[in-house]
Amino acid sequence: MTRRTVRIAVNGVTGRMGYRQHLVRSLLAIREQGGLDLGGGDVLWPEPVLVGRREYALREIADRHDLSEVATDLDAVLADDSIDIYFDAQVTSARVEALKKAIAAGKHLYTEKPTATDVAGALELARLAQDKGVKHGVVQDKLFLPGLLKLKRLVDGGFFGDILTVRGEFGYWVFEGDWQDAQRPSWNYRAEAGGGITIDMFPHWEYVLHELFGRVTSVNAHITTHIPQRWDERGKQYAVTADDAAYGIFQLEGGVIAQINSSWAVRVNRDELVEFQVDGTHGSAVAGLRNCRVQHRAATPKPVWNPDVPLTESFRDQWQEIPDNAEFDNGFKAQWELFLRHVALDEPYHWDLLAGARGVQLAELGLRSSAQGRRLSVPKLSL
């Protein structure tokens, strides 16, 4: 068994995503399983170098997980030839500059979404990475969630017949921060810091729709800010400058219509924080993060509209749960493993900076559609 080390600069590791999903649940989880088996007796061993602005915070994380290397000088890290991959989970507004430096330094790169806050910036990154010949990947974690994997299984198996519509509901109440602390960082509510639910969530909806149902060809969105004042991490009141709800209608190649509501000002009356209902001629499904339930046309009830008579059937009980039939790994880790195989073995990988740019494009066009009050077509992006 030969152990090959891959050194990864992890920037933004003190943040929610950087720490929990990427360091602990992905890179350290790969180490806990003995590394990534590359076949032929080779094992890839990720060696994270924790990068950030506050040395004491990085050192504290390193000590907690028996890691040794921390760094506060990104330029020095990128100048280090022994670093193979740059990973970015910083606040969105800090991303483009850091990714450009990493590309210039010839590092392979993996990054959280959105890759930029506008499509021009996102495409420029994709072009720079292509010209430099580095490998690149963008987090598209929802594709690797059990609920959506089951949904994809149904699509691939032809369960739906002709797919007509997709309805997505995403969101939960994010506390304002005065009488209860907000459960999301305050930069999410400041446009100048890269915040806003559209730039956060439309990139996810772009790849979910694209990969399961067809490329998005038009967007019609109504985007707003429901909660205009919030309180930050220090308890200081601030004016919200970013959108906190986005109501979008998307037309897809092949004719499917998708509607997705995204909101941080909604109380959850669903089984999961995001759910997609798919209706087709032969059957329907409701998929969340973990679960997926279906109703075949043969088992579809025939309700008759009569508000004068109390309901005698429970519609929710008429759905059937899809079994796992497989073991599902953490979605972030599953995608990390595919990216590491892409780097180490040159295996194909299509969730790249161009795919990331499509997500940013949909967010940008969604915001423009809302500002202009009209439906906009979504041109195909290429480099």
Ligand X SMILES: NC(=O)c1ccc[n+]([C@@H]2O[C@H](COP(=O)([O-])OP(=O)(O)OC[C@H]3O[C@@H](n4cnc5c(N)ncnc54)[C@H](O)[C@@H]3O)[C@@H](O)[C@H]2O)c1
Binding site for ligand X (CB under 6 A): 12, 14-18, 52-53, 89-92, 94, 112-113, 139, 141, 185, 187, 200
Least CB distance to ligand X at residue 84 (A): 21
> Which DSSP state fits 114?
P
Compute and round to an integer the Cα radius of gyration of the chain.
22
C-beta of 13 vs 278, nearer to ligand X: 13
Residue 143 or residue 322: which is nearer to ligand X going by CB? 143
Question: Residue for token digits 């910083």?
Answer: 90
Residue 272's SS3 state is coil
Minimum Å gap between C-beta 263 and ligand X is 16
Alpha carbons 137 and 339: distance in angstroms, whole number: 7
CA-closest candidate to residue 287, choices 199, 113, 160: 160
Considering beta carbons, is residue 112 or 352 the nearer one to ligand X? Answer: 112
Q: How far apart are CA 2 and CA 304, in angstroms?
A: 67
Q: Measured from the CB of residue 140, what is the shortest distance to ligand X in angstroms?
A: 8
284 beta partners? 279, 295
Residue at token pair 């009830």: 301
Q: Is 196 or 214 the residue whose CB approaches ligand X more closely?
A: 196
Least spacing, CB of residue 187 vs ligand X, in Å: 6
Complex with ligand X: residue 182 or 256, whichever CB lies closer: 182
What is the nearest approach in angstroms of ligand X to the Cβ of residue 85? 17
Output the smallest distance, CB 25 to ligand X, in A.
12
Which CB atom, from 114 or from 280, has the smaller least distance to ligand X? 114
- CA separation for the pair 15, 29 (Å, rounded): 18
Q: How many CB atoms lie within 10 A of CB 134?
A: 20
By Cβ distance, which residue is nearest to ligand X?
15
Q: Which has the closest alpha carbon to 50: 7, 9, 6? A: 9
